Structure 1
Amino acid sequence: MQVDFYHLTSMPLERALPRIAERVLESGARLLIVAGDDAQRAALDRLLWEYSSDSFLPHGCEGGEEDADQPILIAGDVNAANNAQHVALVDGNWRDDALDFDRAFHFFDEERIAEARAAWRSLGEGDNVERRYWKQNDAGRWEQAA
């Protein structure tokens, strides 16, 4: 199990998440995107349709008749109705249920850094969890820092 911590400093979630989602789909895997807030989930739904004029990320929002068929599913909790192997926690809240996936992406900003550090420490105590910390350099590119 791999957990990637993404510290959002200069690049907002709206630019980082679609790139991760594209890579997950290119690998042939499915993605569950988790956000606890209804408004954030609605904004993510719009984002995945509109983020690029020359690309599109097929997805749905939890509660539809075809949840199981969605390559990307946006949900309020860690329940992969689409049988996703990867989960993106995008509201800054770590959820231990993410450990049931092959890979977890934990996005957080400065407001949630204390919680992210606590999650990092607790995951370091577990077996079979590879943790990676990604930060942005001065050019806005992601660099693995730990």
Structure 2
Amino acid sequence: MGQGLGQIAPAALIAVGVLILTGCTTNVDVPKTFAATLTVTGQAEQVGAGSGECVIDSIRVAPNDQIQIFGGSGAASVRSTLEVEAIDQLPDGMSTCSYTAHFDAVPANQKNYEVSLGRFSPKSFSSDELENGVTYQLRRP
């Protein structure tokens, strides 16, 4: 019988140790985020109405182009793709091209956010502006 207790005691200690370790979970803070939808617009000198492609300030823009939001710390960033919202022909021969971009998880608590698309000038926005919907006007730097 002494032999049986000698085998049970270590097994019981291991089981207790496993229970203690699984009970010791750390509460990891999940970073706070918010959703944002941006309208991206610009005056185009050329359009491909069927393709949704526009040439704005000699720079091509098209659906599925990647747009990024960079947090003020530089470490936080998210990206999305453009979706065509509208292409409107103007009387002067130019067109207004509008796209939307949806971001599901923009890192919160940043001092400011910089929106950037390709070779266009970046633009800064606050978290309140992004949460309430902003328009990013495409302009050459």
TM-score (norm. length: structure 2) = 0.20
Greater helix share, structure number = 1
Larger Rg: 2
Greater strand share, structure number = 2
Greater relative contact order structure (CA < 8 Å, 6+ sep): 1
TM-score (norm. length: structure 1) = 0.19
